[in-house]
Structure 1
Amino acid sequence: MPATPSRDLLALTALPLLAAPLLLGAFAGGGTRRWFGGRADSQRAEAQAAKDAAAAAFYELDTAQRDLRISIETITAVDDSPAARRAADGFAALGRRIDEASGRYIGAVDAHDLDRDDLEASAAARARTELTAARDELDRVKGELDRFAEGLGPLLGKAETQLARLAPAVERARQSLQAASDALDAVRAAGLRADDLAARLAALAPELTKLNEGAGRHGVPGTLERAERVTRQAEAVRAEAEQLPERAAEIGRRLVSLRTRAEALTTRTEQVEPVLSELRRRFAAACWQDLQHVPDQAAETVRQAERKLAEARAARDEQRWPDATALLSTVRALLNETDEAVSAAGDRLRRLNAVQKDPQEEIDRTRFAIRDAQRLAMAGRHTPDPRHAGPLDEAVAQLERAIGSLTGRHPDYWHFLTETEAVRRTVAGVVGRIREDRGAGH
């Protein structure tokens, strides 16, 4: 009886027959999975590219928004005009649009995990579509932001100009304050107190504190204005301090000069009475009555000037320079007044002597002025303009009346002189109007 094969041997001899269909199935199944996996990988890659593009767009928009925020903050820190407020409102509205676009992008990123092993092609396609749409929206908003930024050019330029002025202006103010302080120290070293200048400089200390606190607290426009004001005031203190030694010396010279002038006027005042005596003796009362008060008034004015001089000297000694200067100006005005009054008496006698000796010179002088005006009025005309002829005819008549008043034993020569002066003033007025009319083309 032949030997029976064992079950193990049968199993071994049957194995190739069973394995063949399984291996064939394995190759067939493997090929199917690689084809499906390749399509999914392609969709995944496209979705990833869309995600990367959207991320780049998001980054560009975020950077542009940050840059624009700096520009808006620069403008609003300097400018509170309606245009600046509209710019700030416009940026806020753009910020809301940016938030919406950014939210859509972030939502698309969160909704799709492109790193999942079991990501299906359809899911990857949806991710690509949504991420592309998010990127397009980010690009549109970025375009709006860029156009808005371009429109800010004038406002931003103005603001940057002011900001560029800020630091130098504040530094100039500090340097001016220091220079004023140094000038005051030099004045004090020379023995001059300059208390008023020191008080003015001390009043600027609060302003310096505010400058040191900066524009962040007080605003750029306010800080610029404060810096410029402090610079002006400190420069004024410095200049006055530097001029103080010469000012003190000038006050001393003026005291001496005005003292000498007062003494001279005292002597001249004493000479008025003899002049009045001669006027009374030789001329009618109308020629000198208005001068009767001159001696007493001149003497009193000189006494007032001397009292003010003493006050000015005391102010100088106490280094009250503004007071000394004001008092000296008062003294000068008083002495000028006295000089005019004293001179009037002598001038009256001189003029009356001249016209008494030869009134014809005054008459000829006045007639020449009238004839000269008449020639001007007729230049280029057949008949004179009534506006000019009338006053000139009246001037002729007034002169004739003045000449006629020179009669009697004691003619009123002063009345004659005042009348001829009035005639010449009238004639000069007519000449002026003729020239104005012709200059205007009338």
Structure 2
Amino acid sequence: MTATPPQSYRSPSVPRAPRHPVRHATRHAIRDTLTLVALPVLAAPALLAAFAGGGTRRWFGGRAESQRAEAQAAKDAAAAAFYELDTAQRDLRISIETITAVDASPAARRAVADFEALGRRIDEASHQYINAVDAHDLDRDDLEASTAARARTELTQAKDELGRVKQDLDRFTDGLGPLLGKAETQLARLAPAVERARQGLLTASNALDTVRESGLRADDLAARLAALAPELTRLNQGAGQHGVPQTLERAERVARAAETVRVEAERLPERAAEIDHRLVSLRTRAQALTTRTGQVDPVLSELRRRFTAACWQDLQGVPEHAAENVRQAELKLKEAQAARDEQRWPDATALLSTVRALLNSTDESVSAAGDRLRRLNAVQKDPQQEIDRTRFAIRDAQRLAMAGRNTPDPRHARPLDDSVARLERAIGTLEGRHPDYWHFLTETEAVRRNVSRVVSQIREERGAAH
């Protein structure tokens, strides 16, 4: 069993060592935020008796008194060594508690195990010292010189052992530098992080109140903010209960979530106005598409009258499909308006996106009929323009393939030769009484796409070679 000297004791001959400023600050920070883990500390039963002056005695001269003085000096030196070791162990204990509160790594666990092993050595050295003190009453009037000499020897041995353990403790403390620095950095971040989370929640709550005062309910934002209340409770319970790393992570997560709620709350009036604008804009666009859809039938009629079936067959379903899309878009617009009136902002936004997709699809199909007629008119009037455009693309690619070469690479020459043949076949379809102009146009487009791929391949290969 070990004992600890009273906290009020101060040895007159051994001034207390100054506390390390970082350790001293950390001591208070940990005791404010953590529940301290029980670790071994020095103890010294009957230490008061060991240091007591103890009544009056008669003093005798001669060898006995000389030995008594030497023994008393050895006792004082051992007491000072004991006190220095006790102080160092207490300071180290704070460092270990700081590390274990923050770090659960193997290195931190090894540090705890090594500290416990040192604690056992400290206990043994302390027992040796206390036994030496208890074994000899240096205040006895009849103290013999031999007894005083033996006391001096035992107390000196106890002091030397305390000193050796203190040296080992100092070396161990020096080796904790990296672990302790990391732990103290995290502890220094803890209080500001928790405060940021609390302030973030307060700011988000104020922003939500401001929005509600303007007549917007923001129920979804209120629900998200309410869901953070348990997290705030855990933050208030402190790192001692939940751990420093976990509390840091929770504080940062809460701060981010609160900031998101604040930003969305402050943007809500703008979002409501934007939804109102989109409702009007899409409603107008739907009406315009209804008018344009009615113009598809006359276009199809002209296509049927002037061109072969292959030129317009794929457009037969456009009027019906466009009318159905517009009808669906108008239904979704009504649902979006209802969601906006009920302030279901996510639903309103999703419905408006659906309306936009429907109208985009309708716009493309309605435009396709008019575009088809325009292109067929152009190629019927002058197919040579399309032919020249395609031949120019092929010749340009052939010149690039031959640049810096006597013969073209077969990987490039073959697809270009195929493109030439394909163009000639497409030109051949224009002969006859009823040319398939649409097939001709799709073939020339396909030829130009293939030529463009060859050009890209040549440039990539030459770029990689350089």
1:132-151: CA deviation from partner (whole Å, max 9, x where unpaired): 11111111111111111111
Counterpart residue identity of residue 327, structure 2: R
Residues 112-127 of structure 1 aligned to structure 2 (within 5 Å): 112-127=136-151
**1:237 positional shift:** 0.9
Structure 2 counterpart of 1:399: 423
Q: Are 2:447 and 1:418 equivalent residues in the alignment?
A: no
Gaps of 5+ in 1: 1-35
Structure 1 counterpart of 2:160: 136
Counterpart residue identity of residue 328, structure 2: Q
Structure 2 counterpart of 1:307: 331
Structure 2 counterpart of 1:40, from 64, 86, 94: 64
1:196-241: CA deviation from partner (whole Å, max 9, x where unpaired): 1111111111111111111111111111111111111111111111
1:239-260: CA deviation from partner (whole Å, max 9, x where unpaired): 1111111111111000000000
Structure 2 counterpart of 1:327, from 351, 355, 369: 351
Residues 343-354 of structure 1 aligned to structure 2 (within 5 Å): 343-354=367-378
Aligned partners of 1:396 and 1:62: how far apart in 2?
97
**1:174 positional shift:** 0.7
**1:325 positional shift:** 0.6
1:152-190: CA deviation from partner (whole Å, max 9, x where unpaired): 111111111111111111111111111111111111110
Structure 1 counterpart of 2:248: 224
Q: Which has the higher helix share?
A: 1
Residues 210-249 of structure 1 aligned to structure 2 (within 5 Å): 210-249=234-273
Structure 2 counterpart of 1:258, from 282, 307, 329: 282
Counterpart residue identity of residue 248, structure 1: A
Aligned partners of 1:74 and 1:83: how far apart in 2?
14
Aligned partners of 1:59 and 1:172: how far apart in 2?
43
**1:107 positional shift:** 1.1
Aligned partners of 1:379 and 1:361: how far apart in 2?
27
1:96-148: CA deviation from partner (whole Å, max 9, x where unpaired): 11111111111111112222222222222211211111111111111111111
1:311-370: CA deviation from partner (whole Å, max 9, x where unpaired): 001111111111111100100000000000001111111111111111111111112222
Secondary structure at 2:62 match in 1: helix
**1:382 positional shift:** 2.2
After TM superposition, which residue ranges in structure 1, 4 or more long, deviate above 3 angstroms?
none
Aligned partners of 1:352 and 1:307: how far apart in 2?
36
Q: What TM-score do the two structures reach when normalised by structure 1?
A: 0.90
Aligned partners of 2:75 and 2:402: how far apart in 1?
100
Structure 1 counterpart of 2:459: 435
Q: CA RMSD in A?
A: 1.2
Aligned partners of 1:38 and 1:352: how far apart in 2?
135
Aligned partners of 2:344 and 2:271: how far apart in 1?
12
Structure 2 counterpart of 1:387: 411
Gaps of 5+ in 2: 1-59
**1:265 positional shift:** 0.5
Residues 47-58 of structure 1 aligned to structure 2 (within 5 Å): 47-58=71-82
1:351-397: CA deviation from partner (whole Å, max 9, x where unpaired): 11111111111111112222222222222222222222221221111
Aligned partners of 2:147 and 2:428: how far apart in 1?
129
Counterpart residue identity of residue 448, structure 2: R
Aligned partners of 1:53 and 1:366: how far apart in 2?
105
Structure 1 counterpart of 2:93: 69
What's the % identity of the aligned pairs? 85
Q: What TM-score do the two structures reach when normalised by structure 2?
A: 0.85
Counterpart residue identity of residue 176, structure 2: L
Secondary structure at 2:216 match in 1: coil
**Bigger CA radius of gyration:** 1
Secondary structure at 1:80 match in 2: coil
Structure 1 counterpart of 2:388: 364
